[in-house]
Chain A
């Protein structure tokens, strides 16, 4: 594990950490002690051909969050990015285990008890699934996939259209499911198709924020499925190529959570002092 490197907003520490039998690549961004808010954000990246694009969005969001005092961990799932494993060795269950390992690491490194899961694309579906089994304070869904079946169908359709307009020609080697650089074994595609937001158990996170196209069917599914007593789902449109508006709105939403957490902690401390 390499040492953390200080920069103007805090410390960046790239590291390799275990998840089952695999080693994953992650980068922990810690804010400076003066600005630290006590809430940490775990970035669950996209699984698909636009992984690189979402990586840039996630990195930009991380930069803004760290500057405002949030600990962040960005990591690659098994078989993705710099993490161990080939693209065929990943599975949805393994990716969920990866999120659990990353969450434990983030809690340990940041010392924060409040965790926000932030999922991009198919990573949103994974984050929502994980939020149903862990004690996450908040869930941030960024253009989340809500139905694995239609997502895989879209990937196949886009890949065919791309092939028609490209010099690339598929050969015997390309028989596996490929979508513009995203390679998945047949079994993995079957697994991904089975995942659907509406099939997930109720999310245990106390707050949900979704960056989703306003008026879309996805928005309706997210709001309907994730809303419950006392918990409302806040939404924001993704905006243009440079998604500054949803980022600022999401950060303001996270700041509110951090402020409430601090107020609750202060009240608990006062109570303890009173008891003493």
Chain B
């Protein structure tokens, strides 16, 4: 495995290219998780990149403008727009400079939404690994988020109903429940908390057009949600019914990681996530050989 520091694109984006000793057929692009720099939360992207290299997959983890070491984003417009453009620049770099004609885009949290946008706009995206993404656009996101976060909290306390330790902490006022309750009492109620079916559907119109594009392109998608993420509840409220009925079942995999928090903090959670991603990548149809890749890269 070899790792090298790279700079590419119109905005001089800083990244690390991780290549296996035996060059594989496909490269993975890691998209910044929120505003966390290219190593990912808890160094997750670095760990995944090295594990994937051991399996023969090259990868590029880079910083979108204004995050990590890439120069600030001045005059580039809205974040989601320029971030998706820069994911395309990363794909261009892998194709032109390294000869990888196809990529898999991987993003966590906000990065999942950017990878989703980038993957929709680029035919070279053979697959998407979207971890704890929202895929809900528009002003209604706040409403959906509010309702979903209540569900997440309820799930957390429901899981503790049969735990004597948690009951003990509750009755002895050691539980964080009391702090949360106090905070909720202090916080002003949201202006609008209704989240009916029509709100959810309106919010997802743009996303659904993107899902349709991906389905037409026969892109393989792995959706991963962790038990501790509010985005699992957002998925259930906004995207589950639509995706299970409309997206080709053989190209969509949805995984739920129990006992994992939003950023897969514990080693055990990271291990399960890495294994799942490796297994899923192995199921993708084989891409081109190295010689074919180089030839395609030259043509591009």
The chain B residue with its CB closest to the CB of A183 is B267
CB distance from B257 to the nearest CB of A (A): 9
CB-defined interface of A1-23 with B at 8 Å, one 1/0 digit per residue? 11101010000101110000001
Instruction: Tell yes or no: B22 within 8 A of A by CB.
Output: no
Rounded to whole angstroms, the CA-CA distance of A205 and B167 in the bound complex is 54
Contact present for A165 and B14 (CB under 8 Å):
no
In this complex, what residue of A is CB-closest to B160? A164
Q: Cβ of A14 and Cβ of B266 under 8 Å apart? A: no
**Which one of B64-72, B126-134, B139-147 is at the A interface?**
B64-72
- Interface presence of A84 (CB below 8 A): yes
Cα distance, A56 to B195, chains bound together (Å): 36
Task: For B42, list chain A residues within 8 Å (CB).
Answer: 180-182
Instruction: Type the 1/0 row for A80-101, where 1 means its CB is closer than 8 Å to any CB of B.
Output: 1110100100000000000000
List the 7 shortest-distance A-B pairs measured between CB atoms, nearest first.
A167-B228, A181-B42, A14-B5, A5-B12, A169-B259, A173-B268, A171-B268
How many interface contacts (CB-CB < 8 Å) are there between A and B? 109
Asked whether A178 lies within 8 Å of B267 as measured between CB atoms, the reply is: yes
Contact A81–B265 (Cβ < 8 Å): no
| Interface assignment of B16: CB less than 8 Å from any CB of chain A | yes
Q: Which of A7, A170, A173 contacts B12 (CB 8 A)?
A: A7
In the bound complex, how far is the Cα of B270 from the Cα of A87, in angstroms? Answer: 14
User: Would A167 and B227 count as touching, CB distance under 8 A?
Assistant: yes
Chain A proximity of B138: nearest CB distance (Å): 28
Residue of A nearest to B42 (CB): A181
Residues in A with CB closer than 8 Å to B43 are 80-81, 87, 181
Q: How far is the CA of A168 from the CA of B42 in the complex (A)?
A: 14
Q: List 10 A-B contacts (CB under 8 A).
A: A2-B6, A14-B14, A15-B5, A25-B16, A52-B37, A59-B68, A82-B16, A87-B43, A168-B259, A169-B259
**Chain B residue at minimum C-beta to C-beta distance from A87:** B43
**B268 touching A167, Cβ below 8 Å:** no
Cα distance, A165 to B157, chains bound together (Å): 10
Q: Give A contacts to B, CB under 8 Å.
A: 1-3, 5, 7, 12, 14-16, 23, 25, 27, 52, 55-56, 59, 63, 74, 76, 80-82, 84, 87, 164-174, 176, 178, 180-183
Given contacts A168-B269, A181-B42, 9 further A-B contacts (CB under 8 A): A7-B12, A59-B69, A63-B72, A80-B43, A81-B46, A82-B38, A167-B228, A169-B259, A180-B265
Chain B residues within 8 Å of A181, by CB = 41-43, 263, 265
A52 to B227: give the CA distance in the assembly, Å: 23
- Is B37's CB under 8 angstroms from A168's CB? no
- Min Cβ gap A155→B in Å is 13
B266 touches A178 (CB 8 A): yes
In whole angstroms, what is the CA distance A88 to B176 when docked?
32
Given known pairs A59-B69, A81-B46, the reply for A166 and B268 (CB within 8 Å) is no
A87 to chain B, nearest CB (A): 7
Q: Are A16 and B41 touching (Cβ within 8 A)?
A: no
Residues of B within 8 A of A82 (CB): 3, 5, 16, 38-39, 46, 61
B55 vs chain A, min Cβ distance (A): 17
Give the residue name and chain of the A residue nearest to B169 (CB): A164
B2-26 contacts to A, CB under 8 A, are: 3-7, 12, 14-16
| B242 interface contact, C-beta 8 A | no
Q: How far is the CA of A14 from the CA of B62 in the complex (A)?
A: 12
Q: What is the minimal beta-carbon distance from B21 to any residue of chain A, in angstroms?
A: 15
